[in-house]
Amino acid sequence: MKLIIESGATKSDWTLILNDGEISSFKMAGLNFSSGNDEFLSRTLEEASLQVVQSLGASAPDSIQIDEIHFYAAGLFPSEDPDSPFQRLATMLGNHFPGSAIRLESDLLAAARALFGHEPGIVCILGTGSNVCIYDGTSITSRVNSGGFILGDEGSASALGRAFISDYLKDLVPETVTRYFQEKHDMSYPEIVRNVYRGTSPSAYLGAFAKDILSFYATEHYMQNLVDENFRLFFARCLARFKAENLPVGIAGSFGYACREIIAALGEQDGFRISKFVASPSEGLIAYHK
């Protein structure tokens, strides 16, 4: 039996591939190891182990045996340091699922395997965060450092939310848009500062504004420019590095998938042809591991 976990900053998809090929899936909170904490991580893994038991109709965690665990997430970099996110997660997974062979991989490899399987391509992630790499059909051979929601994540939902909130705080947003957001969200300065600088998941907080921003895309020129500039920054600062590779481009992530028509049109204008969009790597990962 295999357990496939694909985690973003906002949510994580957990899939059990049973020995007879049957599939059982559920969702949990997202686990971002560049900004998460051990207490939250441990609590989420505890809830997930109980969910696995429930999915299998077992009596207790020690009554099941998972042969392989494949965990994909952002912020996971191989390290021998026992205090690194990589080793801390490996230890916690081993405690919750003893006897399992544990494989920890990046969210980029998850997207690569889901988009292209064993074929080469340029792999992009556009979700709460963003990233881009070259995949040779087996491994990632070159990548652009994301920088996270503070230093990068161009094109992502969190980057769009960050740009909007920055404009909002400086009174650069049209009045009709401002009123809409004030009626729907707590847009007070202390609340924004608290969530961005002291919240448990600042990138998810900023990314949550993206859906409402997109709802104004067709009617507010300011919003259209904000969205378009977000994606053009991704093309120029991230994707352009691999423009000469002459490989198919694929985009994984719920935000990218929701904006696929906008991205495809802007990409054509800027010389990028995107061949494939997937909302979540999960389905492709199941096929890859199954």
Tell me how far the alpha carbon of residue 42 is from its chain's centroid.
20
Q: What whole-number distance in Å separates Cα of residue 256 and Cα of residue 38?
A: 29
Helix%, strand%, coil% for the chain, nearest 5: 50, 20, 30
List all residues 6 or more positions away from 88 whose beta carbon is below 8 Å from its beta carbon. Answer: 38, 41, 82
pLDDT in tens, 29-64: 776 565 556 677 777 777 777 777 777 666 555 656
Span 197-205, mean pLDDT? 85
What pLDDT sits at residue 122?
93
Tell me how far the alpha carbon of residue 81 is from its chain's centroid.
25
Span 223-237, mean pLDDT? 94
**Is the per-residue pLDDT at 254 higher than 80?**
yes
Task: Give the three-state DSSP class for 70.
Answer: strand
Q: How confident is the model at residue 217 (pLDDT cuts 50, 70, 90)?
A: very high
Which stretch of 79-93, 167-181, 182-196, 199-213 has the lowest confidence by average pLDDT? 79-93
Span 57-81, mean pLDDT? 72
Amino acid at 73: A
Q: What whole-number distance in Å separates Cα of residue 61 and Cα of residue 141?
A: 38
Per-residue tokens: 129:
């965060």
What pLDDT sits at residue 92?
77
Identity of the highest mean pLDDT range in 21-25, 74-78, 255-259: 255-259
Span 231-236, mean pLDDT? 93
Which stretch of 89-103, 160-174, 208-222 has the lowest confidence by average pLDDT? 89-103
What pLDDT sits at residue 162?
95
Task: Give the three-state DSSP class for 105.
Answer: strand
What pLDDT sits at residue 141?
92
Span 77-101, mean pLDDT? 76
Q: Give me the residues paired with residue 284 across strands.
A: none
Domain ranges of the chain: 2-109+284-289
Residue with tokens 């500062």: 193
Q: Give me the residues paired with residue 278 across strands.
A: 252
pLDDT in tens, 121-167: 999 999 888 989 999 999 899 888 877 778 888 999 999 999 999 99
What pLDDT sits at residue 62?
60
- The candidate with the shortest Cα–Cα distance to 13, out of 132, 143, 120, 127, is 127
Contact between residue 70 and residue 103 where contact means Cβ atoms under 8 Å apart? yes
Average pLDDT, the chain: 85
Contact between residue 94 and residue 102 where contact means Cβ atoms under 8 Å apart? yes
Q: Give me the residues paired with residue 72 across strands.
A: 6, 105
Q: What whole-number distance in Å separates Cα of residue 204 and Cα of residue 184?
A: 17
Contact between residue 241 and residue 134 where contact means Cβ atoms under 8 Å apart? no
Contact between residue 55 and residue 63 where contact means Cβ atoms under 8 Å apart? no
DSSP labels, 119-148: S-EEEEEESSSEEEEEE-SSSEEEEE---H
Q: How many CA atoms lie within 13 A of 82 on its CB side?
A: 1
- The candidate with the shortest Cα–Cα distance to 274, out of 251, 242, 244, 246, is 251
* Cβ-based neighbour number of residue 212 at 10 Å: 16
pTM confidence score: 0.77
CATH architecture of 2-109+284-289: 2-Layer Sandwich (3.30)
